[in-house]
Amino acid sequence: MTPASRHQEGAGGVERVGVVGCGLMGSGIAELSAQAGYDVRVAVSSKDSLTAGRKRILASLDRAVRAERIGAAERDEVLGRISFTTDLIDLADRQLVIESIAEDKAAKVELFALLDKTLEDPEAILASNTSSLSITTMASATGRPEQVLGMHFFSPAQRIPLVEIISSLHTAESVLARAEEFVAAGLGKQAIASTDRTGFVVNALLIPYLLAAVRMVESGFASAETIDRGMTLGCSHPVGPLKLADLVGLDVLRSVADALYDEFKETLYAPPPLLTRMVASGFLGKKAGRGFYRYG
C-alpha cells in the first residue's frame, strides 16, 4: 500500500493542510501529508527559507525514488500537491495547520495568535509539533483554545510510525477525536495520547537517557563510540544514544532538556556543561556536520 492510497477523504474533517516552517520537521510533515493525498500549503518566513524548504522536500522524494519506495510518477504527484508561501494569509482556507517552527515559546505564542486571526474556518484545528513546550500556553493566545492541541511527529516524519497527540485542559474531545482520525486514517500513523506535560511521553523518558550518555562522555568514563556500541549490541537498540542525539540535533536536545528542567527542577533533566559548550560552538550534530561524530 502506497502512502497516497492510505488517505481517506475527509479524515478528521480535513482536506487542506497547512504547515508553518519547512526545516527538517516541517518539510517532513509536509511531504508526509502530500504523500497521503492532502492539499498541502507550506508557509515560511522568507524567500530563502522557501527555496531551501522546496529543495529539502525534493531531495527527500528523490531519495525515496532511488530506494524504490515510490516511483518517479508518484514523486511528481506529491510535489504537485505542495505549494509554498511567505504570507500567512495564504493559509486562510486550511482546515488543519501544523506549526513546526523553532522551539521558542514566545515565537510560537505569537504565531498561534496570528493563525487564529488568519484561519477562516471556525472549526479549523491548530496543532503544534513542539517536542516540549506547553500546549496550554499556545492555546491561550488564541480565541479558540478548545481547537488547539499538540501533534508531535518524530524525525524523519515520513518514516517514523508514531505521533504523540497532546491535549491541554482546553482541548475539546471532538477536536482530539478528529486529530486522532487524521493521524491514523489520514496519515497511516500510530497515535498515542499525552496530557500537556513538558516532554509528553517519549521525551520525558528519552531525554534523561541521552543526557546520561553525554555525562558519561564528559566524565571521561567512556567514549561516544563505546557507549553507542554498548547500547546497540548489549541492549539491541537500533542506534546508540550519542548518535541519536546527533540525529535529533544537540540544540534541540538542549532546548528540550531546558524545558524539562524548568518545569520539574530534577537534576536528571539538567543539560550537562559539555552539551551547552557544543551547542555554543555550533556542533549541533548531523545537520551541522559535527556533533559527537563527524559527518561528511
Share of the chain above pLDDT 90, in %: 93
- Are 124 and 177 in contact by the 8 Å Cβ rule? The answer is no
Point out the catalytic residue in the list 33, 152, 168, 255.
152
On whether the CB atoms of residues 199 and 259 are closer than 8 A, the answer is yes
Q: Angle at CA 89, nearest 5°, toward 84 and 95?
A: 80
What's the whole-number average pLDDT of the chain? 95
Confidence tier at 240 by pLDDT (50, 70, 90): very high
State which of 172, 195, 218 marks the end of a domain. Answer: 195
**pLDDT band at 9; cut points 50, 70, 90:** low
Do 9 and 156 fall into the same domain? yes
Q: Is the model's pLDDT at 125 over the cut of 90? A: yes
* 295 belongs to a structural domain: no
What is the β-pairing status of strands 82-85 and 96-99?
Answer: unpaired
> Is residue 8 scored above 90 in pLDDT?
no
In this predicted structure, what is the pLDDT of residue 265?
A: 96
To the query of whether residue 263 is one of the catalytic residues in this protein, the response is no
Same domain, 63 and 188: yes
Assess whether 69 and 182 both reside in one domain: yes
From 167, 168, 203, 255, the catalytic residue? 203
293 in a structural domain: no
CATH of the domain at 81: 3.40.50.720
Q: Which of 27, 131, 167, 194 is catalytic?
A: 131
Spatial separation of the C-alpha atoms in residues 179 and 88, rounded to whole Å:
22
* pLDDT single digits (tens) 51-98: 999 999 999 999 999 999 999 999 999 999 999 999 999 999 999 999
Of 33, 164, 168, 194, which residue is the catalytic one?
Answer: 164
**Is 166 within 8 Å of 195 (Cβ atoms)?**
yes
* 22 located within any domain: yes
* Catalytic status, residue 129: no
**pLDDT grade, residue 11 (50/70/90)?**
confident
CA distances (Å), 196 to each of 99, 170, 266, in order? 17, 10, 18
Using pLDDT thresholds of 50, 70 and 90, give the confidence band for residue 4. Answer: very low
Please tell me the least confidently modeled range out of 1-5, 178-182, 281-285.
1-5
Any domain includes 296 = no
Give mean pLDDT, residues 207-216.
Answer: 98
User: What does the angle CA 31 – CA 199 – CA 44 come to, to the nearest 5 degrees?
Assistant: 35
Model confidence at 3, in pLDDT bands (50, 70, 90)?
very low
Per the structure, how many domains does the chain have? 2
Q: If pLDDT is split at 50, 70 and 90, which confidence band does 7 have?
A: low
Same domain, 100 and 223: no
What is the span of the domain harbouring residue 17?
3-195
Q: What is the CATH number of the domain that holds 271?
A: 1.10.1040.10
Of 195, 226, 257, the one marking the end of a domain is 195
Identify the domain boundary among 164, 195, 226.
195
